[in-house]
Amino acid sequence: MVLEKLKQLRGIFYRKLLKEGGGHEEPLPGFMIENTNRIVELPDAGDITKLDVTYPLLEPFSYAHIQWNDEEKTLIYNVIEPVLNDEEKKLLAKVSEAVIQLVEVGLTALRERSKAIEYLQRQVDKVLKDFGIQLTHDQYVKIMYFVYRNFLGYNEIDGLMLDPNIEDISCDGVNTPVFVVHRKYSSIKTTASFENVENLREFIIKLAERGGRYVSYAEPILDSTLPDGSRVSATIAGDVATRGPTFTIRKFGDRPLSPIEQILSHTTNSEILAYFWHLVEYGANMLFVGATATGKTTFLNSVCMFIPPERKVVTIEDTREIRIPHEHWVSGLARIGFGIPDSSGQKYGEVTMFDLLRESFRQNPDYVIVGETRGKEAYVMFQGMSSGHTSFSTFHANSVDAVIKRLTSPPIELSPTLIESLNVIAIMTHTSMKSERRVKEVVEIISVDPRTEEVKTNLVFLWNPATDTFEKVNDSQIIPRLVEARGGDAESAKKDLERRKLVLDWLKSKDIKDYLEVVRYVNMFYKEPGKLFETIGNVEFKPDEVKKEVKVEVPTVQAETPIAEIEQPVAPAISAAPAEPAPIEAPREEIKVEVPRIRRKRTSILELLGMPVIRESH
pLDDT tens per residue, range 42-52: 888 778 889 99
Verify that 305 and 414 share a domain, yes or no. yes
pLDDT per residue as tens digits for the range 504-513:
999 999 999 9
Nearest residue to 207 via CA among 179, 249, 170? 249
Are 51 and 38 within 8 A, CB to CB? no
Where is average pLDDT lowest: 4-8, 350-354, 441-445, 609-613?
4-8
Cis peptide before 60 (omega within 30 of 0): yes
CATH code: domain of residue 473 = 3.40.50.300
Verify that 186 and 267 share a domain, yes or no. no
Q: What is the pLDDT of residue 563?
A: 41
Q: Which residue has the higher pLDDT, 80 or 219?
A: 80
Looking at 471, 488, 505, the residue that finishes a domain is 488
Q: What is the pLDDT of residue 21?
A: 38
d(CA 618, CA 613): 15
* Contacting residues for 198 by C-beta, under 8 A, at least 6 apart: none
Nearest residue to 465 via CA among 167, 259, 266? 266
Assess whether pLDDT exceeds 80 at residue 4. no
Q: What is the pLDDT of residue 350?
A: 86
Verify that 266 and 161 share a domain, yes or no. no
d(CA 213, CA 198): 19
Q: What is the pLDDT of residue 94?
A: 93
* Contacting residues for 419 by C-beta, under 8 A, at least 6 apart: 382, 404, 407, 408, 445, 448, 455
Q: What is the pLDDT of residue 24?
A: 38
pTM of the model: 0.75
Do the domain assignments include residue 244?
no
Are 382 and 404 within 8 A, CB to CB? no
Q: What is the pLDDT of residue 570?
A: 46
pLDDT per residue as tens digits for the range 472-482:
999 999 999 99
Q: What is the pLDDT of residue 3?
A: 39
Verify that 326 and 475 share a domain, yes or no. yes
Do the domain assignments include residue 542?
no
Q: What is the pLDDT of residue 79?
A: 94
Q: Residue 335 has what DSSP assignment?
A: B
* Contacting residues for 490 by C-beta, under 8 A, at least 6 apart: 480, 483, 484
The angle that helices 270-281 and 296-303 make with each other, rounded to 10 degrees, is 60
Region 409-435 average pLDDT: 88
Q: What is the pLDDT of residue 5?
A: 42
Assess whether pLDDT exceeds 50 at residue 556. no
Q: What is the pLDDT of residue 569?
A: 46
Q: What's the number of CA atoms in the CB half-sphere (13 Å) around residue 373?
A: 28
Where is average pLDDT lowest: 248-262, 327-341, 600-614?
600-614
Do the domain assignments include residue 29?
yes
Are 357 and 370 within 8 A, CB to CB? yes
Q: What is the pLDDT of residue 39?
A: 62
Rg of the chain in Å (alpha carbons): 37
Q: What is the pLDDT of residue 568?
A: 46
Are 443 and 451 within 8 A, CB to CB? no
Verify that 281 and 426 share a domain, yes or no. yes
Assess whether pLDDT exceeds 70 at residue 9. no
d(CA 528, CA 542): 11
The segment with the largest mean pLDDT, out of 107-111, 410-414, 519-523, is 519-523
Looking at 195, 220, 249, the residue that finishes a domain is 195
Verify that 148 and 266 share a domain, yes or no. no
Mode of pairing for the β-strands spanning 74-80 and 166-171: unpaired
Do the domain assignments include residue 507?
no
Per cent of the chain over pLDDT 90 is 52
Do the domain assignments include residue 459?
yes
pLDDT band at 243 (very low <50, low <70, confident <90, very high): confident
Number of domains in the chain: 2
Verify that 459 and 325 share a domain, yes or no. yes
Q: Residue 187 has what DSSP assignment?
A: E
Verify that 286 and 181 share a domain, yes or no. no
d(CA 545, CA 155): 60
Domain range holding 141? 2-195
Torsion of Cα atoms, 532 then 536 then 537 then 540, to 10°: -70
Do the domain assignments include residue 377?
yes
Q: What is the pLDDT of residue 551?
A: 42
Q: What is the pLDDT of residue 451?
A: 81
Q: Which residues of 556-571 are buried (b: 16+ CB within 10 A; e: fewer)?
A: eeeeeeeeeeeeeeee
Q: Three-state SS across 482-505? A: HHHCCCCCHHHHHHHHHHHHHHHH
Phi, psi of 82 (to 5 degrees): -60, 145
Write out the E strands in 179-334.
Answer: 179-182, 186-190, 221-225, 231-235, 246-250, 286-290, 313-317, 329-333
In whole numbers, what is the pLDDT of the chain averaged over residues?
A: 82
CATH code: domain of residue 130 = 3.30.450.380
Are 129 and 25 within 8 A, CB to CB? yes
Verify that 163 and 275 share a domain, yes or no. no
Do the domain assignments include residue 96?
yes
Coil, helix or strand at residue 46: coil
From residue 395, give the alpha-carbon distance in Å to each of 46, 48, 294.
Answer: 35, 35, 11
Looking at 146, 164, 195, the residue that finishes a domain is 195
Do the domain assignments include residue 545?
no
**590: how many CB neighbours lie within 10 A of its CB?**
5
d(CA 132, CA 423): 72
pLDDT per residue as tens digits for the range 318-341:
888 898 999 999 999 888 777 677
Sign of the C-alpha dihedral, residues 485, 488, 494, 498? negative
Q: What is the pLDDT of residue 617?
A: 52
Assess whether pLDDT exceeds 70 at residue 496. yes
d(CA 321, CA 288): 14
d(CA 258, CA 498): 20
Verify that 183 and 268 share a domain, yes or no. no
Q: Which residues of 1-20 are buried (b: 16+ CB within 10 A; e: fewer)?
A: eeeeeeeeebeeebeeeeee
d(CA 298, CA 262): 9
d(CA 225, CA 325): 20
Region 474-496 average pLDDT: 93
* Contacting residues for 270 by C-beta, under 8 A, at least 6 apart: 263, 501, 504, 505, 508
d(CA 466, CA 347): 51
pLDDT band at 34 (very low <50, low <70, confident <90, very high): low
Verify that 286 and 154 share a domain, yes or no. no
pLDDT per residue as tens digits for the range 187-205:
999 999 998 899 999 999 9
Per cent of the chain over pLDDT 70 is 78
Nearest residue to 522 via CA among 545, 543, 500? 500
Coil, helix or strand at residue 53: strand
Assess whether pLDDT exceeds 70 at residue 469. yes
- Helices then strands (H, E): number in the chain? 18, 18
Are 119 and 110 within 8 A, CB to CB? yes
Verify that 176 and 284 share a domain, yes or no. no
